Chain A
Amino acid sequence: MAKVYNWQIGRDMEYPYEGVRPKKQFGMVMDLNKCIACQTCTVACKTTWTPGRGQEYMFWNNVETKPYGYYPLGWDVKILDELGVQEVGGKTYQGKTLFEAAREGEPVLGFLPNDLDYAHPNVGEDDSAGLMGQGAYLTGPHTQWMYYLPRICNHCTYPACLGSCPRQSIYKRPEDGIVLLDQARCRGYRECVKGCPYKKTFFNPMTRVSEKCIGCYPAVESGRQTQCTITCIGKIRLQGYIGTPTTAREDNPLDYIVHGAKIAKPLYPQFGLEPNVYYVPPVHVPPAFLVQMFGHGVPEAIAAYRKAADDKKLLGALLLFGSTPQIIHRYKVEGDRAIGYDEGGRELVRVPLREPIQVRAAYDGKYEAYRTNIT
């Protein structure tokens, strides 16, 4: 295997191919504090890309409840169990990645889900971590907790699906880093389904080949954000391009959130795939759980997120979420406005850092009515 550098784990690691970074890298940030699991993203993706025969069970985008929700069943706890106890928490990951833990004769440590594991995409919905005791009261982090985890393909820098495919049917586009599965070349071996730890490649039993999230590339190519992003009613997502710590631009909202303010973290970075979807961790969840899921720096990320109102640059970037269907390449904060620009520097959107508030009198003399909501 070749040696590649994975900045998320702070060290070189083994990968079946030489490391070549794309010119731009598709990326997404999701604020887990804002997701309500309405599944609008899931339905938007479903109706756009997977309404066909053999795709009935497929959700390229899904939202599951953590800690007990999974799609497919047990996807993360199974691979964590296979990987075994590893040392996580430091900036440099000391444990083994899935490539380094691969069994003899295999490119990556993985497992093939059972067919029935996909049968209950909303299993564990709203189940909390445990039962509330008599007389319990609210503390932070919560004693019992749950949160929603929306998931798409991570369009990883080092995709395990790509590394697993013996036919090179999966490729990472040099222009935007989107990982695609060639529908004409695939022969349905399901090595990618086995290899992807996030289980975001799917086998279609009607076409007998595998399929995956395409990062809405026809939209992205024309400067538009993905369907799951632009339909999100909670405005929890921002899709654009993400740099590395060395190439990050302060005026790229994704880069500022991930590399500047460092409030968003990758999903299971210890797997070693360098996933390119980043999550703002939920503030009410015990850090030990979050560190296992999002790697080191979670407590600091939560502290910085709590103070976002004091960091106008961060606040501006966060308020651009859901503000425009176009991809925001650059932004700046001017006065009390965050302004987003497209790749050509044209202004796309201007959002206020604070919603204007108007306070009205509780009693309206003209209509001789009392108001219950005066702001």
Chain B
Amino acid sequence: MNRHRLAPLLALAALGIATAAPAQNGLRAVKTGAGLQELLQVDAPAWRSAPVTTVAMLPQSIIAPRVNKVGVSKLTVRAVHNQEWIAFHIEWPDPTRSDRIVVDNFGDQVAVELPVKPGKDAPPSPMMGNPGGRVTILQWRAAFQRDLDHGEPKVRDLYPFAHTDVYPDQVLRATDVRPYLGAIGLDNPISHPNRTPVLDQMAEGWGTMTVKPVQRAEGRGSWSRGRWQVVIAYPLAAGGDSDPRLKPGSETVAAFAVWEGEAREVGSRKAWSNWIPLRIE
């Protein structure tokens, strides 16, 4: 069974998205003396002096399922580096904090995309890369942030009147209970408890998003008075073959995606940006 992908690819080419040189004013990751823990504070002084770039967000209208309008139309982005970490501070208005996940509730999310091979010329497709054009996607999730801040929800937290007599994990040995744990039993990174609210992932086109075996990203998000502020940090030190090489003094590109949970944006139902030049000073 082969998916009919040709038409969307042609549409993308017709829009000139994959091949166009990045046109928007660039991001500058300025040097800072602040350490990682300080940068992970969304209101740290280091962020106040960082230059601000406004990123226009577009509806993902190329591949199904598509959206015609988006919940978030622009992001305010700052970037800094401290010789060890590059960090992005992303801010957007959102009157609804969506971090409780049940069947009809979706979470707020934001992501930074970086090409694995650096450089601002001929980058991969900004829409999750393309075959042979691998990208890293660092995705912060409000639900993960809530897990870290308040603990993972129990069934009774989501459904206060839930009643169950016994669960398999209450009567079986740990070695026997894995089949009863669904995706958690298979260590699905979406289900598994995380140390950080940011998933370090790679992709080579639509439907190929893969969480990397080694997680290198850090981050923190905070919602206050109708506004999300999120920091996503990534080490400058060389990682594996699927990790972007980011060096002070170099230039590359970055792109962004944002999901408004209240509008049931999830997966490809999202707002995305084209590549933006990123200069690591």
**Interface flag for B182 (CB, 8 Å):** yes
Within 8 Å of chain A (Cβ to Cβ): is B101? yes
CA A51 – CA B180 in complex, angstroms?
Answer: 7
**Cβ of A309 under 8 Å from chain B:** no
Assign chain B's interface to a size class.
35 or more
A208 to chain B, nearest CB (A): 6
Residue B56 lies at the interface, judged by CB distance under 8 Å to chain A: no
Q: Which of A52, A105, A168 contacts B64 (CB 8 A)?
A: A105
**Residue from B61, B68, B182 within 8 A of A211 (CB atoms):** B182
User: Is the Cβ of A115 less than 8 Å from the Cβ of B104?
Assistant: yes
CB contact between A17 and one of B2, B143, B169, B268 (< 8 Å): that residue:
B2
Contact partner, B184, options A190, A191, A206, Cβ 8 Å: A206
CB distance from A73 to the nearest CB of B (A): 12
CA distance A135 to B183 in the complex (A): 58
Closest to A189 in B: B267
Q: Which of A17, A115, A191 contacts B102 (CB 8 A)?
A: A115
Docked-complex contact B207 and A17, CB < 8 angstroms: no
B3 and A51 contacting across the interface, CB-CB below 8 Å: no
From A106-114, A120-128, A235-243, A270-278, the one touching the partner chain is A106-114
Q: Is the CB of B103 within 8 A of A113?
A: yes
Residues in A whose Cβ lies below 8 Å from that of B153: 205
Tell whether, in the assembled complex, residue B103 and residue A107 are in contact, meaning their CB atoms are under 8 Å apart.
no
Most buried by A among B101, B188, B209: B188
Given the interface pairs A52-B181, A209-B182, the reply to whether A193 lies near B267 with Cβ below 8 Å is no
Q: Is the CB of B3 within 8 A of A17?
A: yes
> Of B2, B68, B183, which contacts A184 at CB under 8 A?
B183
Residues of A within 8 A of B188 (CB): 183-186, 207, 209
Give A187's nearest chain B residue, CB to CB: B190
Contact of B267 with A56 in the complex, beta carbons under 8 Å? no
A106 touches which one: B64, B155, B184, B190 (CB < 8 A)?
Answer: B64
Contacts of A193 in B (CB 8 A): 103
Docked pose: A16 CA to B3 CA in angstroms: 7
A20 touches B182 (CB 8 A): no
Which chain A residues border B168 with CB–CB below 8 Å? 51-52
Contact indicator B267/A191 (Cβ below 8 Å): yes
Q: Is A71 an interface residue (CB 8 A)?
A: no
Residues of B within 8 A of A51 (CB): 166-168, 180
Digit string of A11-23 for contact with B (CB within 8 Å is 1, else 0)? Answer: 0000011101000
The chain B residue with its CB closest to the CB of A106 is: B65
| Contact across chains for B65 and A107 when beta carbons are under 8 A apart | yes
Please tell me if the beta carbons of B159 and A18 are within 8 angstroms of each other in the complex: no
B164 CB–A CB distance under 8 Å: yes
The CA of A206 and the CA of B61, in the complex, are separated in Å by: 31
Which residues from chain B contact A20 at a C-beta distance below 8 Å? 1
**Cα-based distance from A207 to B103 in the complex (angstroms):** 12
- Tell me which residues across on chain B come within 8 A of A106, comparing CB atoms: 64-66
A-B CB contact pairs (8 Å), 30 listed: A1-B4, A16-B4, A20-B1, A52-B181, A56-B159, A56-B162, A105-B61, A106-B66, A112-B103, A112-B264, A164-B65, A167-B207, A167-B267, A183-B182, A183-B185, A183-B186, A183-B188, A184-B188, A185-B188, A187-B209, A187-B267, A188-B101, A191-B65, A193-B103, A205-B155, A206-B191, A207-B182, A209-B182, A209-B183, A209-B188
List chain A positions with a Cβ less than 8 A from chain B. 1-2, 16-18, 20, 51-56, 104-107, 112-115, 118, 164, 166-168, 183-191, 193, 202-209, 211
Given A188-B101, A190-B106, 9 more contacts at CB 8 Å? Answer: A52-B167, A52-B182, A53-B155, A54-B182, A112-B103, A167-B209, A208-B101, A209-B188, A211-B182
